Amino acid sequence: MKPTSNTQQMRKVAVLCCLLLCSVLLGGCWDRREVNDVAFVMGTGLDKEGDQYRITMQIALPGQLGSSGSTGGGGGTRGTKSYYLESKTGPSFRGAIAEEQREVSRTLNYSHRRVLLFGEALAREGISKMMDVIARIPQNRLSSLIVITKGSAMEMLQADAPIEQYPAEMIRELNFSYMKEPRSVKLLMNSILLDGIDPVVPVMSLVKNGPASLKDRKTNIQIDGLAVFRQDRVTGIIDNHLSRFLLLGMEQAKETEIFVTPPKGKGYISVHLIENRVNIKPHIQGNEIAMTVRLDCNGNVKENETDFDISNEENLKWLEQQTVEEIKRELGAAVHVIQQKYHSDVLGLGRAIITSHPEEWKRIKPQWDQLYPKVEITIDPVVHIENIGAVTKPFGYKKERIQNE
């Protein structure tokens, strides 16, 4: 049977409607913004100067990104930078940004911002006020990483950082190499708003890449410890040595190297902890609170510059026990500082009570600030060395010089 003329006409109308509907999808450029009209902010530094806020923005220069030769953040071999800094002061975070926009011919865009740097002086006053505008404007990335700088955040963004194109990118990569979960805007604010835990953020500082006699010295960036918070304020800084053990207790250590001295002779045996798990168990009797922090660590031997034979099973057990004692000593020292000096619960002891004893937390919460410094904390590490390397005995020592006891 042949289709009627009405059927054919309806088909034509249906096809025409589909074509018209498809044309609607082609109008996606009505609100376009050309790259030449946008200034991409890669990093932002915040400092306090008197009663004013200084905002420093590191803006990418796309024209330099594809040029030949080395164009690292500090200029590289061509002597041209791949970024431009704009710095202004204002009565508030947003006020300083508005001042900067007046001097930048392109629209500031924050969707590619890698890091947000707070100068130490500003961070000690509190950071919540500055976080409001970041969360309020959708273009701002909550995945931007937070860093506290020793000294001025503006100076940090001026570092040469020759390996990366921008200092902001180097700061980001250092964060990922330092912690399992770097502190982003989202994670930091969650820690501030959660009961029973205080935030902790990496601290970075400027350093030269060699002695004064080194030619072509550059200003580099290094991790210099951890800033511990009480609510939204930095209360203190844990030095780089103790911070490595504090990260172990937080289950955030990426790589931890522990150096053990032999029972006889000189030198060190280096134990590299490749993974660790933490379990915090509260013990509550009225207002008497004790905590057991259990760490299960696996590691490898990276170096043995001594004449001590660790291929011997008993000697290996001795090395594991010495590593345990070192963790107890150094993590215990770090916990004492945060508990007694800075009153900052970065290990989340309060969260452990909330999780395991929620009813007790309701009773304890109003007086937690007074009870926390009195909590008795026991560090209980267990270390298992899985691999001592391809060379089982001390390399370079004659057999008669190797210690087996």
- What's the rounded Cα separation, in Å, for the pair 341 and 101? 42
My answer on whether 145 and 220 are in the same domain is yes
In a domain, 181, yes or no: yes
Confidence bin at 184 (pLDDT 50/70/90):
very high
My answer on whether 246 and 318 are in the same domain is yes
Q: Range of 396's domain?
A: 241-405
- Give the domain-ending residue among 188, 216, 238: 238
At residue 93, does pLDDT exceed 90?
no
My answer on whether 144 and 268 are in the same domain is no
What integer pLDDT is reported at residue 79 of this predicted model?
A: 43
My answer on whether 297 and 151 are in the same domain is no
My answer on whether 259 and 393 are in the same domain is yes
Q: Whole-angstrom distance between the N-terminal and C-terminal Cα of the chain?
A: 101
My answer on whether 71 and 184 are in the same domain is yes
In a domain, 103, yes or no: yes
Structure tokens at 22: 């498809």
My answer on whether 329 and 227 are in the same domain is no
Confidence bin at 263 (pLDDT 50/70/90):
confident
pLDDT in tens, 289-331: 999 999 999 999 988 888 788 888 898 999 999 999 999 999 9
- What's the rounded Cα separation, in Å, for the pair 39 and 86? 11
My answer on whether 197 and 247 are in the same domain is no
My answer on whether 73 and 183 are in the same domain is yes
pLDDT in tens, 200-251: 999 999 999 888 888 888 899 999 999 999 989 999 999 999 999 999 999 9
The pTM for the full model equals 0.83
Count how many domains the chain has.
Answer: 2
In a domain, 378, yes or no: yes
My answer on whether 292 and 273 are in the same domain is yes
In a domain, 28, yes or no: no
What integer pLDDT is reported at residue 134 of this predicted model?
A: 81
CA angle 322–313–260, rounded 5-degree value: 25
What integer pLDDT is reported at residue 364 of this predicted model?
A: 93
Helices (H) and strands (E) in the chain, counts: 13, 13
| Among 171, 163, 143, 176, residue whose Cα is nearest residue 82 | 163
- Give the domain-ending residue among 238, 260, 291: 238
In a domain, 26, yes or no: no
Contacts of 229 (CB under 8 A, 6+ apart): 191, 192, 198, 199, 200, 201, 235, 344, 346
Please provide the average confidence, as pLDDT, over all residues in the chain: 86
At residue 144, does pLDDT exceed 80?
yes
What integer pLDDT is reported at residue 320 of this predicted model?
A: 94
In a domain, 126, yes or no: yes
What integer pLDDT is reported at residue 25 of this predicted model?
A: 63
At residue 71, does pLDDT exceed 50?
no
Structure tokens at 156: 């940090």
The CATH number for 308's domain is 3.30.300.210
- Give the domain-ending residue among 187, 211, 238: 238
Residues of the chain with pLDDT > 70, as a percent, come to: 88
My answer on whether 227 and 164 are in the same domain is yes
In a domain, 70, yes or no: yes
My answer on whether 285 and 266 are in the same domain is yes
At residue 69, does pLDDT exceed 50?
no
pLDDT in tens, 152-176: 999 999 998 888 888 999 999 999 9
In a domain, 254, yes or no: yes
